[in-house]
Amino acid sequence: MSLLEVQDLSVVYEPSDAPVTHAVRDVSFTLERGEFVGLVGESGSGKSTLGFALTRLSKPPARISSGRILFDGADVAALEDEELRAQRRGGFAMVLQSGMNALNPVRTVGHHFDDVFAAHGHVPRERRAARARELVEKVELAPTVLGRYPGELSGGMRQRVSIALALALEPQLMVFDEPTTALDVLVQHAVMGTIRELQASEGFTALLISHDLGVVLESTSRVMVMHEGVVVEDAPSRDVLRDPQDDYTKMLLSHYGDPRAEVVELPGLAARGGELVTSSGTAAERSARGSGGSPGAGRRATAPVVVEGVSKVYPPPRRGAAPVTALDDVSMRLEPGQSLALVGASGSGKSTLAQLITGVVRPTAGTVSVGDVRVDRLRRRGLRELRRDVQMVFQDPYAALNPLHTVEYTLTRPVVNYTGRSRREARARVLELLDTVGLTPVEQFAAKLPHQLSGGQRQRVVIARALASDPQIIVADEPVSMLDVSLRAGVLALLEDLRAQHGVSMLYITHDLLSARVVTDHILVLHDGRVVERGETSQVLRFPQDPYTVELLDAVPQPSRAEGAA
Amino acid sequence: MRYFLRRLGLFALTAWAAITLNFLLPRLMPGSPADAAIARLSQNGPVDAATRAAVEAQLGVPTGSVLSQYWDYLGNVVTLDFGVSYTFFPSTVASLVGSALPFTLVLVGLVTVAAFVIGTLVGVLAAWRRGTRLDALPTLTGSFLAAFPYFWTALLLLFFLGYTFRLFPTSGAYSPYTTPGLNGPFLADAVAHAVLPAVTILLTSLGGWILGMRNAMIGTLGEDYVTFAEANGLRSRTVALRYAARNAILPNLTGFGLALGGVVGGSLLVEQVFAYPGVGYLLYNAVTNQDYPLMQALFLMITLSVLVANFVVDTLYGILDPRTRR
């Protein structure tokens, strides 16, 4: 008998004030004992809804409208509350998406284990402390974490603690819902490694829910691909990689590549050597290029960005601690019209460097200049002038737009402030900007509010806003990391197009080496505030010299590695 | 530990600042109590020098430098010597406040704490069972009662329970035929007198606590740690109390601190309606009779009680939320 059998399962959302959505439609599959299966889909595909339904954590307005879930032969839906609670030990456990917030901030890690043991009584009282130590050691943490509060642990450590807590239940089935999404690349790589080892050593059945086909293919032996509530593909990982059947799977796969390869191609984007050419791509990207020649859209950059010997030291976070050195003697140069990648894990100082260049933060030592302007010496008025030339594109398109203002309002403000156009001219310019970023029909998009747009469309609005002042330099801080894979290429192509067509210089900050490879000419690898490697992007990524660069490259999810794993 | 020492230091500093301000403010005001009294007298005709001297001798005119006055004042504060009341001459301010304070502290203090505890518990229950009758009933009645003005509730209770049904005494803190002290008849009588004012304060403040706790808890119920606790099969009581409520109560503690601080000064209306001889009643009398020594002492006490309440709540916060300790 299979451990889990799902028959024609449908889940609907029935909010009282909005139309019903069918999140999961007629899904059927089985999980055999000891299997490690992946469930992949983009946002809104219903994968998390399915995960919550399987572990009976669905809450209103979500409702299982039809179908059955048989766990170990018994219908999960038929369990009484107390039966359900009891079988959470030795039954199914779940590790949540944002492991960062899965722990109660006012209780120590040790208390969390005590609560679990007390709830199920499966570990004798005198064994509990020892068992908790054993469990945290299994997830490669020191036993001292038991005395600490969640706020004192890093994101990766917290996610490891929640995995250990789930393990404390001795489950037969573990559902991992995006266990590493909020984590830094290197940490993500390490945590996934731990999950794989635990699955092998403890022998539980695992379902790994993720938006990242690369991560899933690397770890699992079988993959289910979900799209709009339907499982469109269910096959062994190796087969999915070699011979995907569904078009959607093919599309997802096409967005993966090895940044170390000689030639890297993504749909709509291709890079050869150091030179970049854009091939025919998505519709949005084509429309972006079609309007590329429109007058007034951007100025050719003439001013280089020069950073020399810059250090930034922050005062100690609390008394007695050492000051934090975010950047240590960094120099770099961004030539007009060039694109430069700034890569590194979180805490490497890449965002601090961006803040120095945009004049948000002043360096402790060294100089920052844009053309003839010394950014590190600017005062209010000068900074305003600087922002006409240097604009930011932010990481989180959901937080970067004021939810109360229409797209038109958001874009009109900088146009009026920076270019001194009249209202009517400004409106024409706003429509032109929307056309440039491929949001057509422009009239319709201008009237929309942020919540009516998808993540990718919002990011295009953010880019349009950055373009509103006709900047020479765009600083893009992880512009695609929050977007679904299928949307990333379009946004990247747009950024690349702005540079190629309009001659805007671009500083591209990312941890994603693959995207750095396809949109930048030069690269700077930062580690603990120091530049560890620099050069032409293709050269550095193909023949990395520094061990840290190698480590970053190894952390890039590689579907092709699944061949070895499977 | 360092957190608490730091809080204590901060408390001492603000207390000193409050005491000093209490000394300075009256001296910054133009005129003096004697001037005011003379001005009143002069409406009836010219005031001769002898009368002026008599008034000044009676009310006292500051002598010596400001510094030496300040030093004397500090000494008086420490020995609780606030002078003699004008209105209730020859009672000292200290004895007046001393007899009013226990009634207010017991009545308003206990009721405020009780309202917070009951309101919080009901709020927890309402949020845990949200959408059911257990949620709707307390939430609706709570907001309904909270919308009533203080004195209106007081008058209604007074009219129905006090006059119509004669269940409870209508004014005062105890009957004249009992002897104040720790004896059975007096305590029973004092409790009977306290019922109506207590119920008034409870009814009007309960709704706020219920709603505040319910809304905060609905917020924490959506947090990942609550979902994860459920996924780990913890008992629902553990999840509700140690995970959801424990975090939801934190913002409400600040409100509780303010309410506690207001205990001494904030019961004016209720004490007035029920002629309850507490601090609020005393303050009202002091203000209407321009009894400066009494007012000054009461203001100082109100300020200090707000500071003490804040210190208590800060300490509680430090114990309940490890994040504030850093």
Domains, chain A, ranges and CATH? 4-254 (3.40.50.300), 283-556 (3.40.50.300)
Burial class (CB in 10 A: 0-12, 13-18, 19+), A564: exposed
Give the H or E element holding residue A21: strand A21-31
B154 and B40, same structural domain? Answer: no
Q: What residues in B contact A119, CB-CB < 8 Å? A: 232-235, 238
Residue contact A106–B246, C-beta within 8 A: yes
- At B60 the pLDDT is 67
Selected residues 270-329 of chain A with any CB under 8 Å from a CB in chain B: 318
Range of the domain at B282: 96-325
The size of chain A, in residues, is 566
Same-domain check for residues B27 and B105: no
Phi, psi of A264 (to 5 degrees): -115, 130
Cα–Cα distance measured from residue A558 to residue A256, given in angstroms and rounded to the nearest whole number: 8
DSSP-based three-state secondary structure for A30: strand
Q: Which pLDDT score, from 0 to 100, does residue B22 have?
A: 84
B2 touches chain A (CB under 8 A): no
Q: Is B220 on the interface with A (CB under 8 A)?
A: no
Residue B310 and residue B190 share a domain: yes
Distance (Å, whole) CA B220 – CA A480: 31
Contact A391, A466 (CB under 8 A): yes
Is the domain of B290 the same as that of B168?
yes
In contact, A227 and A46? CB cutoff 8 Å? no
Average pLDDT of the segment spanning B39-48: 77
What is the predicted pLDDT for the residue at B266? 60
CA distance A253 to B285: 83
> Sign of torsion, CA A111 A117 A119 A124?
negative
Mean per-residue pLDDT, A448-477:
87
Kindly state the average pLDDT of the residues A386-397. Answer: 86
Q: What is the pLDDT of residue A502?
A: 80
Q: Residue B315's pLDDT is what?
A: 87
Rounded-to-integer distance, Cα B315 and Cα B311, Å: 6
User: Coil, helix or strand for A309?
Assistant: strand
pLDDT at A543 over 80: yes
Instruction: Render pLDDT for A159-208 as a digit per residue (tens, 0 to 9).
Output: 899 999 999 999 999 999 888 877 777 888 888 899 999 998 988 999 99
Q: A93 contacts in B (CB within 8 Å)? A: 231-232
Residues B54 and B157 in one domain: no
Residues 6+ apart with CB under 8 A from A121: none
Looking at the DSSP bridge assignments, the partners of residue A95 are A176
Please compute Rg for chain A using Cα positions. 25
- Read off the pLDDT of residues A268-292 as tens digits, 9 standing for 90 and up: 665 434 444 444 433 344 334 333 3
Domain of B161, CATH number, reads 1.10.3720.10
pLDDT at A211 over 50: yes
Instruction: Specify whether B62 is located in the same domain as B194.
Output: no
Instruction: Look at A151 and B323 and tell me if their CB atoms are within 8 Å.
Output: yes
The CA distance from B77 to the nearest CA of chain A, in Å, is 37
What is the pLDDT, as a whole number, of residue A319? 65
**B58 and B103 share a domain?**
no
Residue B85 domain flag? no
Among partner residues B230, B233, B247, which is closest to A106 by beta-carbon distance? B247
Instruction: Among B48, B78, B108, give the residue marking a domain's end.
Output: B78
Contact at 8 Å (CB) between B119 and B208? yes
In a domain, B91, yes or no: no
Average the pLDDT over A448-476 and give the result: 87
Sequence letter at residue A25: R
Q: How far is A260 from chain B (nearest CA, A)?
A: 38
Q: Which of A102, A151, A165 is closest, CB to CB, to B224?
A: A102
Nearest to A119 among B227, B235, B321 (CB): B235
Which ipTM was obtained for this model?
0.77
| CA separation for the pair A566, A219 (Å, rounded) | 8
Among the partner-chain residues A81, A87, A101, the one whose CB lies closest to the CB of B225 is A101
Query: B235 and A93: CB-CB below 8 Å?
Result: no
Cβ–Cβ below 8 Å for A119 and B238: yes
| Chain B touched by A14 (CB under 8 Å) | no
Angle, alpha carbons A137-A138-A140 (nearest 5°): 60
- Nearest CB to A88; choose among B224, B231, B247: B231
Residue B83, domain member (yes or no)? no
Residue B88 has pLDDT above 80, yes or no: no
> A67-71, B27-31, B59-63: lowest mean pLDDT where?
B59-63
Instruction: Give a yes or no: residue B144 inside a domain.
Output: yes
pLDDT at A274: 41
Question: Does residue A409 surpass a pLDDT of 50?
Answer: yes
**How far is residue A309's CA from residue A364's CA, in Å, rounded to a whole number?**
10
Contacts of B230 in chain A (CB under 8 A): 57
Q: What is the mean pLDDT of residues B95-116?
A: 88
Asked if A101's CB is within 8 angstroms of B247's CB, the reply is no
Burial of A411 (0-12, 13-18, 19+ CB in 10 A): buried
CA dihedral (A8, A9, A14, A20) positive or negative: negative
A167 interface with B at CB cutoff 8 Å: no
Strands A36-40 and A505-510, sheet pairing? unpaired
Q: Are residues B7 and B128 in the same domain?
A: no
B135 contact partners, CB below 8 Å, separation of at least 6: B126, B127, B129, B214
What is the maximum span of chain A, computed from C-alpha positions, in angstroms?
77
Task: Give the best residue of B128, B226, B228, B321 to mutate against chain A (max A CB count within 10 A).
Answer: B228
In a domain, B9, yes or no: yes
Report the SS3 class of residue A33.
coil
- B84 DSSP assignment: B
Q: How confident is the model at residue A99 (pLDDT cuts 50, 70, 90)?
A: low
Comparing alpha-carbon positions, the chain B residue that sits nearest to A121 is B234
Cα dihedral B47→B49→B54→B55 (10° resolution): 50
What pLDDT digit, counting tens, does each position of A482-512 carry? 778 777 888 888 888 888 888 889 999 988 8
Q: Does B64 lie in the same domain as B11?
A: yes
The reply to whether residue B235 touches residue A86, judged by beta carbons under 8 angstroms, is no
Q: Which amino acid is at A509?
A: I
Chain B touched by A49 (CB under 8 Å):
no
Q: Which residues contact A133 (CB under 8 A, 6 or more apart)?
A: A143, A146
pLDDT computed for residue B2 by the predictor: 77
Q: Is residue B40 predicted with pLDDT exceeding 80?
A: no
Residue A232 corresponds to which tokens in the numbers above?
A: 């469109």
Q: What pLDDT is recorded for position A376? A: 84
In chain A, what percentage of residues exceed pLDDT 70? 91
| Contact: B225, A103; criterion CB under 8 Å | yes
DSSP-H helix ranges across B222-261? 224-231, 236-238, 246-261
Q: What is the mean pLDDT of residues A449-459?
A: 83
Cβ pair A106:B230 closer than 8 A: no
Query: pLDDT averaged over chain B?
Result: 85
The answer to whether the beta carbons of residues B150 and B205 sit under 8 Å apart is: no
- Distance, in Å, from the CA atom of A349 to the CA atom of A333, rounded to the nearest integer, reads 16
Q: Which residues of A touch B247 (CB under 8 A)?
A: 104-106
| A11, A58 contact by CB (below 8 A) | yes
Residue B107 sits in the same domain as residue B25:
no
In A190-277, beta strands by DSSP E: 205-210, 222-227, 230-236, 263-266, 269-272, 275-277
What letter would DSSP give residue A268? T
- Whether A310 shows a pLDDT value over 70: the answer reads yes
Q: Which of B25, B48, B78 is the last residue of a domain?
A: B78
Best of A16, A57, A97, A104 to disrupt the B interface (most B CBs within 10 Å) is A104
Q: A41 and A2 in contact (C-beta within 8 Å)?
A: no
Report whether A69 contacts A58 (CB < 8 A): no
Query: Is residue B87, in this structure, part of any structural domain at all?
Result: no
Report strand pairing: A339-343 vs A505-510: parallel
Give the number of beta-carbon pairs within 8 Å between A and B.
84
Max intra-chain CA distance, chain B: 88
Task: Tell me whether residue B43 is in a domain.
Answer: yes
Where residue B209 falls among pLDDT bands split at 50, 70, 90? Answer: very high
- Residue contact A57–B227, C-beta within 8 A: yes
Q: Give the gyration radius of chain B's Cα atoms.
A: 25
B121 shares its domain with B239: yes
A347/A564 Cα distance (integer angstroms) = 32
The pairing of beta strand A305-314 with beta strand A365-370: antiparallel
Distant-in-sequence, close-in-space partners of A278: CB < 8 Å, separation ≥ 6: A268, A269, A270, A285, A289, A493, A496, A497, A500
> Last residue of some domain: B50, B78, B106?
B78
Interface of A with B in 118-157 (CB under 8 A): 118-120, 149, 151
- B contacts of A151 (beta carbons < 8 Å): 322-323
| pLDDT confidence bin for B170, thresholds 50/70/90 | confident
SS (H, E, C) A51-92: HHHHCCCCCCCEEEEEEEEEECCEEHHHCCHHHHHHHCCCCE
Contact in structure between A169 and A120 (CB atoms under 8 Å): yes
Residue B238: list chain A partners with CB under 8 A. 115, 118-119
User: Does residue B119 share a domain with residue B70?
Assistant: no
* 3-class SS letters over A351-411: HHHHHHHCCCCCCCEEEEEECCEEHHHCCHHHHHHHHHHEEEECCCCCCCCCCCCCHHHHH
Give me the pLDDT at residue A270, please.
Answer: 53
Suggest the residue from B232, B242, B317 to mutate for an interface test with chain A (most A CBs closer than 10 A). B232
Number of domains in chain B: 2
Mean pLDDT, residues B171-178: 78
Q: Which residue has the tokens 């999980």?
A: A31
Whether residues A119 and B231 touch (CB distance < 8 A) is answered with no
Residue B42 lies in a domain: yes
Residue A562: pLDDT band (50, 70, 90) is low
* Burial class for A90, CB neighbours closer than 10 Å (0-12, 13-18, 19+): middle
